[in-house]
């Protein structure tokens, strides 16, 4: 199979296996985006007089054929082809001759992979934002339903003050809403079209970059051609920083739910359909989904570091090192999306046990409220504090539900 850079010799097999690695199979995810970008590029080449109308038609047909083959799972990328860009151009040349030979005019695989990855990223981040909004909705509904479901609030994991499941769910929702703003900011930075930057230095043809950018639905052209190349890995790491924040929120929520559902506490429980059992201990009902959210948060954060470390030592311009950022980026995108789905599903199925929540209230939880009562009677705060500190468990008994009703939790 001929490579795009074929110059009449064969690449050493050991080097080929090592350099291509699994990149050609990751590229299955980029085929549709490369076709869309190639089509916009072809339209632009036609506009500036490089492709005839017939050649443009041929390329439109060819790219359509590739997309429908891909949709049926029949578009193969061979390892020897290195990537989807080669497989697509090879198909176009085999089926449409010179039109196929002209498609690469004015571009390099370096800007080609950037644009395909950005189109992929825009789609996926759009889905992640939607999934995050869904979870915000579920958390808000849960918060509303459990506004008056009391649970002990903790600091240092010790009993602190009365809280509610509603307060907890609202906190998770607020955290996720911040993460959404962060991811939207990353998306705005990603939404700049790199096509036309070619290898890293543009080309001496009057490419209409604005036309390509508009056709592909980017917010604007990413103007500096060298920065286009340099920004690879950088924008992925921005998305991953936001994914990391989302995963931190999910991880905290997962941890809290695992804690709330401890048999000794039992404020909530997961329906058995969401839990797996033990191969040995018949009584076990394990929150594996939540545990894996916690672990996958570490993977996403680790992947962020991988990308940052890959790009950190590079000099300006394309370097093959960039290829290694594709896998951690794609993997983290998938993990973040799926983790949001799993958490939404879990919140919607969560069973709450009001009796257990109320039973968890020991008198000491009302100690600070007792101090406030004394303060309201005119006793100086420090004096009241010291008085209650003598015996916090003597705090006058309160109904936990009544107590949290008086708190300004919203």
Q: Is 326 in the site for ligand ARG (CB under 6 A)?
A: yes
Annotated catalytic residue: which of 156, 204, 279, 397? 156
Nearer CB in complex with ligand ARG: 142/322: 322
For the bound state, the minimum distance from the C-beta of residue 306 to ligand ARG, rounded and expressed in Å, comes to 15
Nearer CB in complex with ligand ARG: 221/330: 330
Q: Is 323 in the site for ligand ARG (CB under 6 A)?
A: yes
Residues 218 and 192: their CA atoms lie apart, in Å, by 6
For the bound state, the minimum distance from the C-beta of residue 109 to ligand ARG, rounded and expressed in Å, comes to 4
Nearer CB in complex with ligand ARG: 122/356: 122
Determine the length of the chain.
410
Nearer CB in complex with ligand ARG: 96/322: 322
Footprint of ligand ARG on 76-115 (CB under 6 A): 83, 109-110, 113
DSSP state of 270: -
The set of residues, in sequence order, having a beta carbon less than 8 Å from that of 208 and lying 6+ positions away, is 44, 47, 48
Please tell me the count of residues contacting ligand ARG according to CB under 6 A: 10
Residues 124 and 332: their CA atoms lie apart, in Å, by 11
Residue with tokens 């033990």: 278
- Which of 96, 267, 318, 361 forms a contact with ligand ARG (CB under 6 A)? 318
Ranges of beta strands (E only) in 55-186 are 150-155, 158-164
Nearer CB in complex with ligand ARG: 77/371: 77
- Which of 322, 329, 361, 366 forms a contact with ligand ARG (CB under 6 A)? 322
For the bound state, the minimum distance from the C-beta of residue 1 to ligand ARG, rounded and expressed in Å, comes to 15
Footprint of ligand ARG on 212-271 (CB under 6 A): none
C-alpha distances (whole Å) from 294 to each of 97, 137, 242, 253, 334 are 52, 22, 16, 9, 15
- Which of 320, 355, 377, 390 forms a contact with ligand ARG (CB under 6 A)? 320
For the bound state, the minimum distance from the C-beta of residue 194 to ligand ARG, rounded and expressed in Å, comes to 13
144-152, 187-195, 215-223, 322-330 -> range binding ligand ARG (CB under 6 A):
322-330
The set of residues, in sequence order, having a beta carbon less than 8 Å from that of 362 and lying 6+ positions away, is 152, 159, 393
118-126, 165-173, 263-271, 314-322 -> range binding ligand ARG (CB under 6 A):
314-322
For the bound state, the minimum distance from the C-beta of residue 332 to ligand ARG, rounded and expressed in Å, comes to 17
Annotated catalytic residue: which of 25, 68, 276, 278? 278
In 3D space, the residue among 230, 164, 233 whose CA is nearest the CA of residue 201 turns out to be 230
Nearer CB in complex with ligand ARG: 234/345: 234
66-74, 130-138, 189-197, 320-328 -> range binding ligand ARG (CB under 6 A):
320-328
3-state secondary structure (DSSP) of residue 89? helix
What token pair was written down for 333? 């995108």
For the bound state, the minimum distance from the C-beta of residue 316 to ligand ARG, rounded and expressed in Å, comes to 15
In 3D space, the residue among 176, 149, 142, 173 whose CA is nearest the CA of residue 346 turns out to be 142
3-state secondary structure (DSSP) of residue 192? strand
Give the 3-state secondary structure of 20-74. HCCHHHHHHHHHHHHHHHHHHHHHHHHHCCCCCHHHHHHHHHHHHHHHHHHHCCC
For the bound state, the minimum distance from the C-beta of residue 259 to ligand ARG, rounded and expressed in Å, comes to 42
Contact between 211 and 257 under an 8 Å Cβ cutoff? The reply is no
Q: Is 164 in the site for ligand ARG (CB under 6 A)?
A: no
Residue with tokens 């592909």: 216
Footprint of ligand ARG on 23-82 (CB under 6 A): 23
Residues 362 and 152: their CA atoms lie apart, in Å, by 9
Question: Is 156 noted as a catalytic residue in this protein?
Answer: yes
How many CB atoms lie under 10 A from the CB of residue 62?
25
Question: Is 278 noted as a catalytic residue in this protein?
Answer: yes
Binding site for ligand ARG (CB under 6 A): 23, 83, 109-110, 113, 318, 320, 322-323, 326
State the catalytic residues.
156, 278
């Amino acid at each position: 199979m001929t490579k795009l850079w074929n110059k009449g010799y064969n690449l050493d097999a050991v080097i080929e296996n090592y350099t291509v690695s699994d990149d050609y199979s990751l590229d299955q995810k980029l085929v549709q985006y490369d076709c869309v970008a190639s089509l916009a590029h072809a339209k632009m080449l036609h506009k500036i007089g490089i492709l005839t109308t017939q050649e443009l038609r041929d390329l439109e047909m060819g790219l359509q054929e590739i997309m429908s083959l891909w949709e049926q799972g029949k578009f193969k990328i061979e390892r020897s082809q290195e990537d989807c860009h080669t497989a697509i151009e090879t198909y176009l040349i085999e089926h449409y001759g010179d039109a196929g030979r002209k498609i690469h005019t004015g571009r390099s695989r370096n800007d080609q992979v950037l644009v395909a990855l950005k189109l992929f990223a825009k789609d996926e981040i759009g889905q992640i934002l939607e999934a995050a909004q869904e979870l915000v909705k579920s958390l808000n509904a849960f918060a509303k339903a459990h506004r008056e479901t009391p649970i002990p609030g903790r600091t240092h994991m010790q009993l602190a003050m009365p809280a509610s499941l509603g307060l907890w769910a609202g906190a998770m929702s607020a955290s996720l809403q911040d993460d959404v703003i962060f991811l939207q900011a990353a998306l705005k930075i990603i939404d700049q079209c790199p096509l036309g930057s070619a290898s890293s230095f543009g080309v001496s043809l009057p490419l209409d970059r604005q036309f390509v950018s508009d056709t592909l639905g980017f917010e604007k052209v990413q103007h500096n051609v060298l920065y286009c190349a340099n920004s690879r890995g950088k924008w992925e790491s921005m998305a991953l920083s936001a994914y990391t924040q989302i995963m931190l929120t999910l991880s905290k929520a997962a941890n809290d739910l695992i804690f709330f559902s401890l048999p000794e506490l039992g404020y909530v429980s997961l329906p058995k359909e969401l839990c797996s059992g033990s191969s040995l201990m018949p009584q076990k009902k394990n929150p594996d989904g939540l545990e894996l959210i916690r672990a996958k948060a570490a993977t996403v954060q680790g992947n962020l570091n991988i990308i940052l470390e890959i790009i950190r030592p590079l000099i300006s311009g394309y370097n093959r090192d960039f290829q290694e950022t594709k896998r951690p980026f794609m993997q983290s995108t998938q993990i973040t999306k799926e983790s949001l789905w799993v958490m939404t599903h879990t919140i919607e199925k969560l069973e709450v046990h009001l009796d257990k929540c109320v039973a968890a209230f020991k008198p000491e939880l009302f100690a600070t409220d007792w101090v406030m009562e004394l303060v309201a009677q005119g006793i100086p705060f420090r004096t009241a504090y010291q008085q209650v500190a003598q015996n916090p468990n003597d705090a006058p008994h309160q109904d936990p539900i009544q107590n949290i009703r008086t708190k300004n939790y919203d």
